[in-house]
Structure 1
Amino acid sequence: MSSSTITPWVVGNWKMNPMQADAFQLIEEFKQLLQQQEIPSERCHIGVAPTLIALTNIQAQLKDANRTIFTVAQDLSKVSGTGAYTGEVSAELLRDSQIAFVLIGHSERRELFGDDAETVKAKLHNALNADLKVIYCVGESLEQREQGVAEQVVLQQICDIASVVKTEQWQNIVIAYEPIWAIGTGKTASPADAQAMHVKIREGLKQITTWGANIAILYGGSVKAENAVELAACPDINGALVGGASLNAQSFYQIASAFAQK
C-alpha cells in the first residue's frame, strides 16, 4: 500500500471545549452538512475527540449520522483495569463504553501534565492491549526546530514506543505529527516543511515495522479550512488532527471534504 492509497483521517480534537449545549449543536450542524453533501466513509475517516464527560453522549448522538463518525478519547490512564485510582479512566473502561479510539502523547499532555516517555509508553501499551486504536502524537518545539534537531526528536518519539508495540498492533496505530510551535498559535508549518517531516516519519516507520507503509500520518497544528486543500495535496500527508477549527461545523466539514478529494 502506498501513501497515496491510504484512506485519509480527519479528527477533531475539541480539547477542553465546548459546553454541553454547544457540543450538541455542533454535532447536529455537522450531521446536517453531511446530509446535504455526503463525504463517503471510503474517501475519508472522520472522528471527534470530545471532553471525557461528553464521550458517551456524543457517541450516542452520532449513531444516526448518515455515515460512521468515530468517537475518540483525548487521553487515558497509565493504570490498567479497575481499582482505587481516583480521577483515572482506564483503557478497559473506555472499551467497555464502546470507545474504540484514543489520543496518546499530545504535546499538551507531555508539556502541561508531565507525560514523559515512560508514561506515554504505559498508556499506549494499555490501549493496544485493550484492543483500542491509537492516534499517537509526535512533534518538536520551536527551539528544537531552530537547533536543527526536529527530525531527531520526532523519530525518537516514535522509537520510544517501539518496545511496547507488538508486530500486529502497528496496524492499530495512526501517527499525528504536530509541530508544537504551530498548535493553537495560528502558525502552520509550510506544506513543504510538513511534507518533508512526513517523509522522514514514513522512512522511520518502515525501518521499525513491516506495517510502516500502511500507517496513516496526519498533520496537526493550526489546520484550517483555508489551508486544508494545500495540505491535502501533499502526497505523504494522510489527513489532519484539527484543533480549534473542529469547533466550527462548517470549517470541520470543509477540512474533511478537502482530504476526501485526496
Structure 2
Amino acid sequence: MSGSAITPWVVGNWKMNPMQADAKALLQDFKKLLQNNEIKEQDCYLGIAPTMLALGSVQSELASSVRPVYPVAQDVSRIAGTGAYTGEVSAELLKDQQIDFVLIGHSERREFFAETASILNEKVKNALNAGLTIIYCVGESLEQRENGQAEQVVLQQICDIATVVQAEQWKNIVVAYEPIWAIGTGKTASPEDAQAMHAKIRAGLTQITPLGASMAILYGGSVKPENAVELAACPDINGALVGGASLNAESFYKIAQAFANTK
C-alpha cells in the first residue's frame, strides 16, 4: 500500500524536556502556526508526548487548538488498574484522564531502564485492554546494523508483541522505526535505507495480521525540516516520531506540513 493511502502521523516526543514556561510558549507558538495555516486532520494526525508531569497541562493547552493535536503519554506501567505501586501510572489511569495514546518500546526505555520483551508485552497488553492506541517503537543499534542483523532485530521486536495482541487490536497499533544510532545524533538513515526497512516491517506485519497493509509506520531518528520532504515521499514511511526538532514550534510544524503534503 502506498504511503498516500495511509493518513500520516507526526508525533513530537519531548522526552525529559522542557520547563513548564517553555512548554507553554512552545504550544502557543505551534497553535498559532496551525491557526495561520491549518494542517487538516484528514491530511495528517498530530500528537505531542510531554513528560508525565506535564501531560495534563499540555492536554488543556491543546484543547483550544484549531484542530486536534493529541496528547501522548511517553510511558505506561506494566501494572494494570490501581493499587499500591508508588510512582506508577497505569493504562487505566491514562484512559480515565482521556489520554488515548502512548509510546511503548522506545530504545531509551529498553536501554536505560532495562525494559525487556517480557516487560514490554505486559505494557502492550495493558494498554490495548484499556483502549489505548500504542505507538510501538522498534530499532537496531549501529553494531547490529554493521553486523547485518538490522532486519532480524527489528522484525523480532515486532514478533515479540504478536503473542499478546489480539487480532482486532492491531488497528490500535502504530509502528515507529527508530534506528538507535540515529536518535539525537544528527545522523539519519538515508531515505532509501529507511524506506527499505519500512518495506520489510510492512511485509512482516502483513504476515502477522491482515491489517498490516494499512498500518502507519513512522520514521524517527533526527527527523528535521531539511529531510522531512524526502522521507515523506517514501511509500512506506507514513509519518515521523520527532525528537529534538519537536521542541521548536516552526521546525515541528514544517515536518508536519511535509507529511501532510503527501496526501
Q: TM-score, normalised by structure 1?
A: 0.99
Residue 111 of structure 2 is matched in structure 1 by: 111
Secondary structure of 1:82 counterpart: coil
Is the contact between residue 12 and residue 243 of structure 2 (CA under 8 Å) also seen in structure 1?
Answer: yes
What residue ranges of structure 2 are gaps of 5+ in the alignment? none
Is the contact between residue 2 and residue 213 of structure 1 (CA under 8 Å) also seen in structure 2?
Answer: no
Amino acid at match of 2:48: V
Residue 123 of structure 2 is matched in structure 1 by: 123
Residue 52 of structure 2 is matched in structure 1 by: 52
Residue 88 of structure 1 is matched in structure 2 by: 88
Shift of 1:27: 0.3
Matching of residue 231 in structure 1 with residue 231 in structure 2: yes
Residue 76 of structure 1 is matched in structure 2 by: 76
Amino acid at match of 2:182: A
Percent sequence identity is: 72
Shift of 1:2: 4.6
Q: Distance in 2 between matches of 1:25 and 1:119?
A: 36
Amino acid at match of 1:91: A
Is the contact between residue 3 and residue 214 of structure 1 (CA under 8 Å) also seen in structure 2?
Answer: no
Residue 138 of structure 1 is matched in structure 2 by: 138
Secondary structure of 1:64 counterpart: coil
Q: Distance in 2 between matches of 1:67 and 1:138?
A: 29
Amino acid at match of 2:189: A
Secondary structure of 1:48 counterpart: strand
Provide the aligned C-alpha RMSD in A: 0.6
Matching of residue 62 in structure 1 with residue 62 in structure 2: yes
User: How many pairs align?
Assistant: 262
Shift of 1:4: 2.7
Secondary structure of 2:12 counterpart: strand
Q: Distance in 2 between matches of 1:230 and 1:209?
A: 29
Stretches (4+) displaced over 4 A:
none
Is the contact between residue 9 and residue 46 of structure 1 (CA under 8 Å) also seen in structure 2?
Answer: yes
Secondary structure of 2:63 counterpart: helix
Amino acid at match of 2:241: L
Q: Distance in 2 between matches of 1:177 and 1:129?
A: 24
Secondary structure of 2:218 counterpart: strand
How big is each residue's C-alpha offset from its partner over 1:127-161, in whole Å with a ceiling of 9 and x where there is no partner? 00000000000000000000001000000000000
Shift of 1:259: 0.1
Residue 18 of structure 2 is matched in structure 1 by: 18
Is the contact between residue 3 and residue 213 of structure 1 (CA under 8 Å) also seen in structure 2?
Answer: no
The aligned runs of 1:235-254 (5 Å cut-off) are 235-254=235-254
Shift of 1:3: 3.7
